[in-house]
Amino acid sequence: MYTLKDNDVISEVMCGNNFEYILKDSSQFVNTDYKVLQSQNNGIFIKCMKMTRNGLVDLYYVTDEYRPMSSMLVGISPDTLINVIINLFASVIEVRNNGFLACQCIDLSWDKIFVEQNTLKVKLVYLPLSVRAFDSYAEFESELRSSIVKLADKVITSSNARLDQFVQDLCNGSMSLEDVYNKSRGAETAPIVRSEERSQMMPGTSANGSIKLVAMNAPSHFELVIDRDDAVIGKKQELVDMVIPFNRMISRKHCRITNRTGIYYINDEGSANGTFVNGVRLNPGQKAQINRGDIIRMADSDFQIV
C-alpha cells in the first residue's frame, strides 16, 4: 500500500517493539487533530505521543502490547483473516461515522495495522498531518478493498467458500463496508447500522438533538450540553446562559452558540481573548458553522464538540 514514507513526508525509526515517525516538515503537523486523537477513548487507535528529534516533530507510537498484522500472515487461515479484516472494518467505519478524524490519515500499511492477539481486535495508527496519503475517503476505501483482495490472494494457500464470497463482496462496488461487515460478521457480533441511516440526523447533532462541548484541558472533567436554540457562554453567571468557571481568561460574556434546524453556529461576543474554531480566530460578531469533532478555543481553553 502507498504510505507517506514513499513520498518522503515522514521517516521511520524503530524503537524496540515501538516505532517513531519523524516529519520532514514540522509545519505539516496538525495540533488540533493530535488533541482530538489524545481525547479518543474508544480503543481504536494506537497511543501516539508527540516529541521532538533534532528540531523536528517526532510521533512516537506505543505498540509493544500488540502484534502487527504483517507478522500474522504466514499460514493464516481464511476464517482468521476474515475475522481480523472484519474488525478492521469495524474500526474504520467508527472513525468515518463519528467524524472526529479523517480516515485518509490512517496508515494502511500491513505492518502498521495492529491486532490484539486474544480478541483479534484491530488498533489503527493515525497520523495528525495536513498531508494525507489519500485525497478522499472514496480513494481510501478503494485502496483498502483492493489491497485486501490482493493480500488474500497472496497469503491464503487453501481458500474456502466463506473467503471466496468475502472477496466477491469486496469487489462488488454496490456493497458498502457496512454491507460487507454485516454479511461476514460472526453470529455473536452486533450488526452495524448503514451510514445512510445515520445521516438522517443533521450534521453536528446527537440523537437527542443536542451537542456537547467537552473541555480538553480543564482541571477536571467539564462539559456543556447545548440543548437550547440560543446559548450565551462566559464566566459571569448574571450575563450568560452557561458558565465556564475555571478560566479567568474567558470573558464575562464570551461567545454564543445558536441552533438553526439542527445546524449549529458559533459567534464571538466581543471577548478579550478570542473565540477560535479549529485554530481560526473569529472576528467579533462573525458566525461560523460548527460540527462534531471541531475544536473550539475560548481564550486558552479548548473544547471538543461531540
3-state secondary structure the chain: CCCCCCCCCEEEEEECCEEEEEECCHHHECHHHHHHHHHCCCCCECEEEEEEECCEEEEEEECCCCEEHHHHCCCCCHHHHHHHHHHHHHHHHHHHHHCCCCHHHECCCHHHCEECCCCCCEEECECCECCCCCCCHHHHHHHHHHHHHHHHHHHCCCCCHHHHHHHHHHHCCCCCHHHHHHHHCCCCCCCCCCHHHHCCCCCCCCCCCCEEEEECCCCCCCEEEECCCEEEEECCHHHCCEECCCCCCCCCCCEEEEEECCEEEEEECCCCCCEEECCEECCECCEEEECCCCEEEECCEEEEEC
Mean pLDDT of all residues belonging to the chain: 87
Q: Tell me: do 80 and 192 sit in the same domain.
A: yes
One-letter amino acid identity for 108? Answer: L
Residues 6 or more apart in contact with residue 159 via CB below 8 angstroms: 78, 152
Query: Higher model confidence: residue 46 or residue 98?
Result: 46
107 contacts 122 by C-beta, under 8 angstroms = no
Q: Is residue 204 part of a domain?
A: no
Does residue 55 sit in the same domain as residue 74?
no
Same domain, 237 and 138: no
pLDDT in tens, 154-183: 999 888 999 999 999 888 877 888 889 999
What's the confidence (pLDDT) of residue 195? 47
- Judgement on whether residues 49 and 89 belong to the same structural domain of the protein: no
| pLDDT-above-90 percentage for the chain | 54
The residue range of the domain holding 246 is 211-305
Gyration radius of the chain over CA positions: 22
CATH of the domain at 85: 1.10.510
Does 147 share its domain with 175? Answer: yes
Res. 201: pLDDT tops 50: no
Q: Which of 156, 171, 198 is the last residue of a domain?
A: 198
Residues 93, 37, single domain; the answer is no
Tell me the pLDDT tens digit for each residue of 42-90: 789 999 999 999 999 999 999 999 999 999 999 999 999 999 999 999 9
Nearest Cα to Cα of residue 78 among 163, 151, 186, 150:
163
5: in domain:
no
The pLDDT, as a whole number, for residue 263 is 86
pLDDT of amino acid 280: 86
Counting Cα atoms < 13 Å in the Cβ hemisphere of 202 gives 14
* 235 and 254 belong to one structural domain: yes
In a domain? residue 112: yes
Residues 125 and 180 in one domain: yes
pLDDT surpassing 90 at residue 108: yes
Are 131 and 108 part of one and the same domain? Answer: yes
Assigned domain for 203 exists = no
85 and 100 assigned to the same domain: yes
Residue 205 domain-assigned? no
Residue 14 lies in a domain: yes
Instruction: Look up the CATH number of the domain holding residue 272.
Output: 2.60.200.20
Of 148, 171, 198, the residue at which a domain comes to its end is 198
Of 183 and 186, the structure prediction assigns the larger pLDDT to: 183
Evaluate whether residue 47 is within a structural domain: yes
Please provide residue 33's backbone torsions phi and psi, each rounded to the nearest 5 degrees. Answer: -60, -40
**What is the 3-class SS of 9-28, one letter each residue?**
CEEEEEECCEEEEEECCHHH
Query: Is 21 a domain residue?
Result: yes
> In terms of domains, do 183 and 77 share one?
yes
Asked if residues 122 and 148 have their Cβ atoms less than 8 Å apart, the reply is no
Same domain, 158 and 173: yes
Amino acid sitting at position 249? M
Domain ends where: 198, 219, 241?
198
Domain total in the chain: 3
